[in-house]
Amino acid sequence: MRLELRWSRVEALIAAATTRLVGTRLEIDLEALRALLAADARLTRIRLDLVHPGEQVRIGRVFDVIAPRAKLDGGGHLTVMDGQVQVRDFPGVLGAITKVGHGRTLALDGVAVVATDQQADPVAGSLAVIDMAGPNAALSAFGRTHNVVISAWPAPGTGRPEYLAAVRLAALKAAVHLARTARDAEPARVEVFELPPSPRVPAALAHLPRVAYVFQIHSHQRPTGVDEGVLYGDPVRRMLPTIIHPNEILDGAVLRGFMGRSVTTWATQNHPMIRALYAAHGHSLWFAGVVVTVAQATEPERVRSAFLVAGLVAHTLGADGVVLTKIGGGAPHVDMAQAAAQCEALGVKTTLVVEDMSTDGSAEGMLLFNFPGMDALVNVGSSQEPLVLPAMDRVVGADDLAAKLVGETRATYGTLCGAIEQVGATKVMAEVR
């Protein structure tokens, strides 16, 4: 499969009478965008804010961040429905269910869509923030992007899962709406992701170690709602490990569930592990493919899932080595380790990307497992470590919490959206001292 991400650079973001991309300036007709997003009976009021790097602004109540993308065409891989060629964005959630990962996709660099959650109980929920200035801006990718912040309020009677589904859908609509402005633009750069079917290794590269990636895309610590599409719109309730092409993940087939901890949809769309393996592909390794899996809720499910993962990695993809990442908290951590243990048992060397799980900052609490052979561990930092949020001039996206959030606040790394990404997108690491 061959995917082209056609990047257009955005260096300025302004409200205007028409939505269009002029050079590197993205102009948005906020009224038109608001009207587009308001066409959802689950939402009442929609507010849009534009915030910029360097502004003394804190975005509060952050729910998820989406990278602006829009399919231009599906390459040779087209799905025909009702006699029509279909090319769909975020298939199964926004667009109809069609295969992605092939063809050309428009992408905007330097701008992100930030969805806020106006329903969560501020006491019980862990409400994330983004700082646009100060020391924390450098810790998160979203402190360096121009952000379109969507605040949407639930219509009376809208339950929690329905509200979150509506908010995410609004953010996806906005992401596509903005990316389509680049339809006629000459891209600043074209990024090509091309990976042949796994067994077709040219003889000259047959000596390279075959490396697979196991991507845990959801944790069943919380059951998904019916509208909580994670894989091509499927809430993955009964999902067993399966193989998909890495391009499908980069092209909108996988979205984060609603209760993401230290993970954003943005990081999935720009998947750092898939990028790292692509970068080394054909040079120091052969990228053998991706297994997607979910963290199971019970032990029999975990055991079954673990050996199915290992079988796909070892026997189907024929990998010599595998990297695994997790999503969520403790159970996914152990689930990943059990899958890795099964891989090691089949002779596949493993590296695991873990979050520092210690809640008291002690090194002995970093891990929740202890399996032989699991000796290569990379960490994405501790989300529990205290972090000071310095005073800002303005709070966006959390009017009700503005009085508290505008001043200096004690928080944790986990509170800062984009500082800790479990798929390994950031340079934050917990060092043992």
Positions 52 through 111 that interact with other proteins (CB under 8 A): none
Considering only 10-18, 177-185, 303-311, 378-386, which stretch makes contact with other proteins by CB under 8 A? 378-386
In terms of Cβ atoms closer than 10 Å to its own Cβ (0-12, 13-18, 19+), residue 403 is exposed
- Is the Cβ of residue 308 or residue 368 nearer to other proteins in the bound state? 368
Sign for the CA dihedral angle at 308, 330, 328, 358 comes to negative
Question: Residue 321 has which token pair?
Answer: 């080595």
Q: What does the alpha-carbon distance between residue 23 and residue 173 come to, in Å, rounded to a whole number?
A: 23
Output the smallest distance, CB 367 to other proteins, in A. Answer: 5
Considering only 85-93, 96-104, 156-164, 357-365, which stretch makes contact with other proteins by CB under 8 A? 357-365
Output the smallest distance, CB 270 to other proteins, in A. Answer: 11
C-alpha distance from residue 179 to each of 64, 135, 271, 354 (Å): 18, 30, 18, 33
Which of 285, 312, 327, 340 contacts other proteins by CB under 8 A?
285
Nearest to 62 by CA among 116, 120, 143: 116
The mark string for 18-47 relative to other proteins (x by CB under 8 A, - otherwise) is: ------------------------------
Q: What does the alpha-carbon distance between residue 124 and residue 126 come to, in Å, rounded to a whole number?
A: 7
Length of the chain: 433
Which of 116, 262, 382, 415 contacts other proteins by CB under 8 A?
382
Find the distance separating the first CA and the last CA of the chain, reported in whole Å.
Answer: 45
| Residue ranges of E strands in 117-269 | 128-131, 146-154, 189-194, 210-219, 242-244
Nearest to 250 by CA among 264, 266, 236, 271: 271
- Is 122 one of the binding residues for other proteins (CB under 8 A)? no
- Is 375 one of the binding residues for other proteins (CB under 8 A)? yes
- Is 340 one of the binding residues for other proteins (CB under 8 A)? no
- Is 217 one of the binding residues for other proteins (CB under 8 A)? no
Positions 135 through 174 that interact with other proteins (CB under 8 A): 139
- Is 314 one of the binding residues for other proteins (CB under 8 A)? no
Residues that bind other proteins (CB under 8 A): 139, 209, 211, 220-223, 272-273, 275-277, 279-280, 284-285, 297, 320-323, 329-331, 349-354, 356-367, 370, 374-382, 385, 413, 423-433
